[in-house]
Structure formats: structure tokens, C-alpha cells
């Protein structure tokens, strides 16, 4: 199974609790083959949120919402089951100052491209897109109602995608959230009561600058039924 692990940091705790270096955790993942890739994103103050309403692109400065635990990076995990992924995640140092949100990748959502991928751009800045659809709208329409396949093909043609994943809904038993507080590991499964809006997918793009990244986000169907949070990776 593939899982996207969203690394979330609670800014209040980050200022008060000292945490260990992440390197040993990364090394463990490389050794066991459990961690495929992962990168930290830049601070939330560098985020831009994109919405499209009635054909008009609406931008706002900052992350999608002032949720308590802000996304600080992602990792792609490969594990036989959710329990194994949770066990590995529980040793991540950020568990003490935030949460590791583990979400199963919905692998067959966008069919694989026939005939291989065009080459990816070598120059540019990398951005993480966090797809945050409005929960009510998201549940009221069939998945094909916001089929991103056409968008994915377009970014593949342009050579600006570095990958992406649609995530299974967090409340169907495929997801978990891991925290460590006072030396105790806390795992919550199933519905994330604290999150009204769920991240429904992630995309990694390589754009010339923020304008191009925002234009790519505005062209994605999620921006019309919710928002896309655009986060730069540190240069």
C-alpha cells in the first residue's frame, strides 16, 4: 500500500519543545524501503490559496485555513498495511510537536498514461498543491464530477508535474493521525473530528514562478469546488 504522510506542525508546540533531528528516521525508511520520497515545504507565510468562483480567480495570502497543525512537508510511504505505517510514523520527531497524518493513496484514480511520460522540466521552482474541496460539495458529487485526468495529462504534456496523488477519504478507515505527547503515542483512526475540511489530494509541480504555479492551480477542478493551497518548497 502507498500512503501519503502529511507532516503537520503545531506552531505553539514548535516554539517550546525541542525535537531530535529527522535524519535517523529518514535513514530507517531508506533501509527498510518504507520511505520512498519526501520534502519539507516553506513556512506557511509563503503560501497562497487559490479559488475559482464564477470563472474568476480569487487569491488569498497564506494557508487555506488557520488550522492548528499546519502542513510542513510530506512523505510518500510504502507499507504492507496502515498499522505498519503508523508504527513507522510514530518515531518521526514531529510527532511530539504536531501530527503525522497518514492517508492511503487512491492509486487507480487517474489511469496511467500510455506510452510513457514526456520529459520533466529541469529548471524552475517546485511547489506543493494541497487540494481542499468543500466537504459538502465533495460528497454531493460523484468522483468523476471532478475528474482531474485532463489536468494531469496537460501538466504531463507541459513537463511541469513531479507527481501527485489522490487520497482516499479520511473517514473510511484507511487513515490515521499520529501524535506523541508526554512520552505516549496517540493514534486516532477514522474520522478526523478536528478537521472539517480534508486534504483530498496532493500535486507536485515545477513552475517558472509563482504566477505559473497559480495558473496551474486555477486550472485544476478542485479550485472550483473548494481551494488549492500552493506551498513553495525551499529553494
Enter the DSSP assignment of 181.
E
Per CB under 8 A, does 143 bind another protein? no
Per CB under 8 A, does 235 bind another protein? yes
Calpha distance 188→89 (Å, rounded): 13
Calpha distance 25→27 (Å, rounded): 5
Calpha distance 157→121 (Å, rounded): 11
Of 32-40, 77-85, 146-154, 205-213: span binding another protein (CB under 8 A): 205-213
Give the residue, chosen from 100, 146, 214, 218, that forms a contact with another protein under the rule CB under 8 A: 214
C-beta separation of 94 from 7 below 8 A: yes
Calpha distance 125→149 (Å, rounded): 23
Output the nine-digit C-alpha cell for 223.
479550485
Of 24-32, 57-65, 103-111, 169-177: span binding another protein (CB under 8 A): 57-65
Question: With respect to another protein, which residue has the nearer C-beta, 112 or 211?
Answer: 211
Calpha distance 178→222 (Å, rounded): 27
- Residue 108 Cβ, how far from another protein at the closest point, in Å? 33
Give the residue, chosen from 145, 163, 190, 234, that forms a contact with another protein under the rule CB under 8 A: 234
Question: With respect to another protein, which residue has the nearer C-beta, 11 or 191?
Answer: 11
Per CB under 8 A, does 147 bind another protein? no
Output the nine-digit C-alpha cell for 120.
520533466
Per CB under 8 A, does 62 bind another protein? yes
- Residue 75 Cβ, how far from another protein at the closest point, in Å? 22
Question: With respect to another protein, which residue has the nearer C-beta, 165 or 207?
Answer: 207
Per CB under 8 A, does 47 bind another protein? yes
> Across the strands, what pairs with 100?
7, 178
Contacts by residues 143-147 (CB-CB < 8 Å, ≥ 24 positions apart): 143/109, 146/221, 146/222, 146/224, 146/225, 147/221
Q: Which residues bind another protein (CB under 8 A)?
A: 42-43, 45-48, 59-62, 125, 207-211, 213-214, 232, 234-235
Amino acid at each position: 500500500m502507498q500512503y501519503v504522510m502529511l507532516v503537520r506542525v503545531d506552531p505553539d508546540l514548535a516554539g517550546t519543545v525541542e525535537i531530535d533531528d529527522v535524519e535517523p528516521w529518514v535513514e530507517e525508511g531508506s533501509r527498510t524501503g518504507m520511505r520512498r520520497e519526501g520534502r519539507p515545504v516553506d513556512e506557511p507565510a509563503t503560501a497562497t490559496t487559490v479559488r475559482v468562483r464564477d470563472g474568476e480567480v480569487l487569491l488569498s495570502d497564506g494557508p487555506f485555513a488557520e488550522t492548528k497543525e499546519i502542513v510542513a512537508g510530506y512523505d510518500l510511504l510504502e507499507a504492507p498495511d496502515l498499522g505498519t505505517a503508523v508504527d513507522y510514523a510514530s518515531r518521526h520527531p514531529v510527532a511530539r510537536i504536531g501530527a503525522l497524518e497518514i492517508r492511503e493513496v487512491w492509486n487507480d484514480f487517474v489511469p496511467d498514461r500510455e506510452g510513457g511520460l514526456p520529459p520533466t522540466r529541469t529548471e524552475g521552482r517546485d511547489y506543493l498543491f494541497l487540494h481542499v474541496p468543500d466537504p459538502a460539495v465533495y460528497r454531493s458529487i460523484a468522483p468523476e464530477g471532478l475528474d482531474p485526468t485532463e489536468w494531469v495529462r496537460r501538466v504531463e504534456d507541459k513537463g511541469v508535474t513531479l507527481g501527485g496523488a489522490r487520497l482516499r477519504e479520511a473517514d473510511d478507515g484507511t487513515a490515521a493521525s499520529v501524535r506523541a505527547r508526554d512520552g505516549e503515542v496517540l493514534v486516532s483512526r477514522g474520522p478526523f473530528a478536528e478537521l472539517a475540511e480534508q486534504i483530498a489530494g496532493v500535486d507536485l509541480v515545477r513552475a517558472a514562478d509563482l504566477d505559473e504555479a497559480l495558473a496551474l492551480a486555477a486550472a485544476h477542478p478542485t479550485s472550483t469546488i473548494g481551494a488549492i493551497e500552493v506551498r513553495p518548497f525551499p529553494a
